[in-house]
Amino acid sequence: MALFKRREASAPAPAGAAVAFGVGMQVVVRLDRTRYPDSMVEDPIGVITAPGELVGSALYAPVVGKEAIWVVHFEEPFFGLDGSGPHESARVPQRSLEAAPES
């Protein structure tokens, strides 16, 4: 009796399935707007160019515990919610990343 159902490699991932992040993936960085709720800055889009550490701090969100950090290079120079920038890249915790929609 099999406990797990094997999914064909070509089959699409089910809705809500975890995304496997990696170098070369295009992502949207979801900004933490708790301190700047009225900011009109859009969430930047970029490409993961390198893995970061599993612990430490990231540019736009505090890191708690062990969490994957990725280096993201933005498509366009990005200005932070606090007006800092322009930034060409940032170290971003994985929880702030979302796979960019395919265009």
Asked, as a colleague might, if the bond just before 12 is cis with ω within 30 of 0, I would say no
pTM: 0.69
3-state secondary structure of 89: strand
pLDDT string in tens for the chain (103-residue length): 444 444 344 444 445 556 788 999 999 999 999 999 888 889 999 999 998 766 555 555 555 557 789 999 999 999 999 889 999 999 999 999 999 988 6
Partners of 85 in the beta sheet?
none
